[in-house]
Structure 1
Amino acid sequence: MEKETDRSGIFEPKLDYAPNEMFPCFADVLKIENNHQHGRHVVAKEDIDVGKTVMVDQSYFAETFNLKYRRCGIFFREVENLKPCNKCTFTMFCPRCEGNSFHDIECDVNPTYFGCLSFASFRMVIIRSILLAMNAFDDIDQLIAAVEEILSSDAVEAPESLSDPQSKYRAFFKLQPNSKENVDEKLPQKIYLIYRLLIGQSKVSKIFHSEASKRFLMHLFGHHVIVIKNWIRSDRYKTGRKGLFNEDIEVYYEHRISITASYFNHSCSPNAYITAQNGLNIAVVLRPVRKNEQLCVTYDEQILMKPKTERQRDLQSKFKFQCKCDRCKQPQLESSTLNSNLRIKLDPIFQSIFESRSVHDYQTFLSLKANAFGLLKKYKKVAWSAEVYRIIYSLYTLALMETETATAGSMPFTGHIFNITFD
């Protein structure tokens, strides 16, 4: 019998530095800054080497579909001794979350929501965000006062802390500073649809009993919908059909929002990357970062190997901005994707990574990941090249494999995705 690999502790990533006092999910080598040029962004307080884990963040809220029986529906982590909800068959609880008041309301809203498609599948995520807002304050009057104060303050402020429910909700609310820029002619109908689901629950209607409080709740739904629509990360595939609002129907595996991850700006030549593993959002350094340098990630790893015109088109289409990173502004850096570095290309370790056609055991996976980071460390002073981009792209694939390994206990993916060309 093949000896089973011990994976205990592997999927519990830890910061490589002491945690930041005000932002516990950040290593104390990071800080959040804010200016007109970059907006809210993440900056290094000291030099950071390749391979260092600088953020381990629990999603502010999340929802999974294909793994709903393996993860706690509140904590969103895979843990032992999960128990099902007493009223429905769609949610599991870990011991610390059993009896949670969130699901007590969610369970009554619509017990069939797991089968819903397209926009409708977002409704429980939006309802969860409203419940988080309600739970962060002692009563509805405090919530209303807090939202009014937030609206009157600087729309693009950087958070002073993310160490308590109130500061986290404030930061979530301000992820979308200008909702007027997001025009959706179907938005009122969408808001009303979800609002009616929640206000129809007796526990909620008793809290929002006056007409003024109901209007407040509907406006709050509107803002939350816009924030979530623009910042949620989703794993999904398209079905080719149309939904209730004539939108493309997509089947969603997972929704999640990380407040701190949203503060990393995009770059087409990133010096860090963020992956999601077992309910956590993890940031790891890919290229050496100097003190006071900004840490940037790519919002879409698929664009790394594309020319500037295609990257700009994709980023504008998906994320509604024109990239002005160094690679997009500097022709010399842009040409690096076409230039090959023979030292890296002929390195036996590099060749072994990209000659791997399949990964069937966990030790091979660990070796590939270690080799990828080893190469980035070995050639950290080398200029950007096609090989560097290939190594970085391979790490996104390895992160996906690591997530699947954690949930399935096997290595279901093959390595052919590593073999990317730049022709």
Structure 2
Amino acid sequence: MKRIIYTLIGLLAFSVSNAQELETLINEALNNNPEIQKFELQYSIASEKVNEVNTLPNTEFGVGYFVSEPETRTGAQRFKVSAKQMLPWFGNITARENYVSALADAKYEDIVIAKRKLMASVSQSYYNLYANKAKQEVLSENIKLLKTYETLALTSVEVGKASAVDVLRLQIRQNEMQQLLDVLVQQFLAEQTTFNKLLNRNKDVQVSVINELIIPSEDFEINSGNLSLHPELLKFDKLYQSVEQSELLNQKESSPMIGFGLDYINVDERPNMDFSDNGKDIIMPMVSVSIPIFNNKYKSQTKQNELQQQEILAQKQERTNALEILLDKAVNDKISARISYATQTKNLKQAKDAEEILIKNYETGTIDFNDVLDIQELQLKFQMNQIESVKTYYVQTTIINYLTQQ
């Protein structure tokens, strides 16, 4: 589990302090998340059942009183006390323990799966917060830029080189950006609640995110062969093994049971008689055998186990196909994010070059504020797409890590 955390952290291109912060947040989530605690408790319960099955059948005790005392040669029988203990066939208890242990092993995989999913959810939520904050900064910068253009437009109006309509258009564009900024603030608060609840803490705890994420120049190698070792698939193997243990237990339970017992009968002495064994109590050891003559129950259980194993294999194949699709999509989306980022970076540079040309035109006294708005809108679009590409890259990396890291 630590290896996955370190891999996630290692992919982040930011300072050591920020990396340590994310690692700390992930560890806090693993320690405090109630879903993880739920699965750990379920595993503890399943493990404790080993002690439950490591027992013998109840010992039977009986007491009987002769209302009409039967007379025997040695005297009248008064009451009877009996004890009986049935013992399962050799290996039966061990088979039970193995079966319950196999179920507990399958339950343990739920913990591993839940931890992996939690780590991925924390990371993805963190990237969502980063993208939101980065977009807020971009909008704030663009609003400031528009205010600068508004000042230029007002100056141009005074000298008759621009109209009041140009000023109004710049102001309307600022209003639109402010609206987008306000919406992003609310979305950040909603995502912050999601993030805090993953860590099982108060929803109002402020989350600070890194200032910048960049796409690394080279991607790490993806070992798709590790997919077969994914805990979601290993769980099916553990379930299959539990069914095997269930069948071994079924075979043991279809064997006979041996019982050992002891009867004690109290006998009164016969009055006015003197002979050997007068009033001698009766002690009778007993052995019994319980044979499942009608064993259709066990034959049916064997058939059910065979069908259940076939079902598990089918479920595993179905889940394997789904995970392979998810991995392939994540890999391709990650590549697409890198391509998109490169394209947006190129477009943004060209848009800034166009902006510089417009500024130089202003210095010569010719500026079209419609062009200013168009270039500013393009810049905003490219900047937003850049941020989205970075977020997509890291989100897809998180998914790939969830599927392939051991």
* Length-normalised TM-score, structure 2: 0.22
Structure possessing the higher relative contact order (Cα contacts under 8 Å, 6 or more residues apart): 2
Query: TM-score scaled by structure 1?
Result: 0.22
More strand by share: 1
